[in-house]
């Protein structure tokens, strides 16, 4: 371990000692992620968006126009996952998809007027989520760097890992 901690690593007498659910970091992260997505669901219903669609729209609200590959890099999703979602958003008339004039292989995704208008409706969602979860800004400020660091450490493992189930 590179960081000094007041807690010492547990000493396992057997390999199975590490296999207790309460000793795993993966379970609270998995459960928190699931609970966060579920908490967003009723807030997003009014917008007609799923949570993954909301994430796409957040990126588009930042950039207005972005290629599928750049969107995939930002969200850590592949084009096979993004393309059907983008087609649904286009069918909902929130975005317009078009081939780049410079390169036919590049698909640009651009907000429509309805997509830009939806941003105004969505503006209250982050505050509602914080209120619903009884979070203060200091809570977010404490959680975010830890999560960012964990993500930074785990991302390199994704290239060496096989497909997930």
Residue 8, in any domain of the structure: no
Q: What is the CATH number of the domain that holds 126?
A: 1.10.10.10
Residue span of the structural domain in which 34 resides: 25-155
Identify whether 20 is part of a domain: no
DSSP 102: S
Asked if residue 148 belongs to a domain, the reply is yes
77: left (phi over 0), alpha (psi -120 to 50) or beta: beta
Provide the mean pLDDT of the chain. 89
Domain membership of residue 18 (yes or no) is: no
Whether 123 has a pLDDT exceeding 90, the answer reads yes
Q: What is the pLDDT of residues 65-100, one digit of tens each?
A: 999 999 999 999 999 999 999 999 999 999 999 987
Our count of domains for the chain comes to 1
Q: Which helix (H) or strand (E) holds 141?
A: helix 137-160
pLDDT digits 0-9 by tens, 14-42: 666 788 999 999 999 999 999 999 999 99
User: 37 lies in a domain?
Assistant: yes
């Amino acid at each position: 371990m590179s960081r000094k901690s007041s807690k010492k690593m547990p000493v396992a007498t057997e390999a199975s000692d590490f296999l207790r659910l309460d000793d795993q970091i993966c379970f609270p992260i998995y459960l928190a992620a699931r609970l966060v997505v579920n908490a967003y669901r009723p807030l997003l219903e009014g917008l007609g968006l799923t949570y993954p669609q909301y994430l796409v729209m957040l990126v588009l609200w930042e950039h207005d126009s972005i290629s599928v590959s750049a969107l995939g890099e930002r969200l850590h999703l592949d084009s096979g996952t993004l393309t059907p979602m983008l087609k649904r958003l286009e069918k909902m008339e929130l975005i317009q998809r078009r081939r780049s004039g410079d390169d036919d292989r590049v698909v640009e995704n651009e907000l429509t007027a309805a997509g830009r208008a939806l941003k105004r409706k969505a503006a209250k969602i982050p505050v509602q989520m914080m209120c619903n979860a009884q979070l203060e800004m200091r809570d977010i400020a404490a959680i975010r760097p830890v999560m960012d660091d964990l993500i930074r450490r785990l991302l390199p493992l994704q290239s060496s890992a096989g497909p997930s189930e």
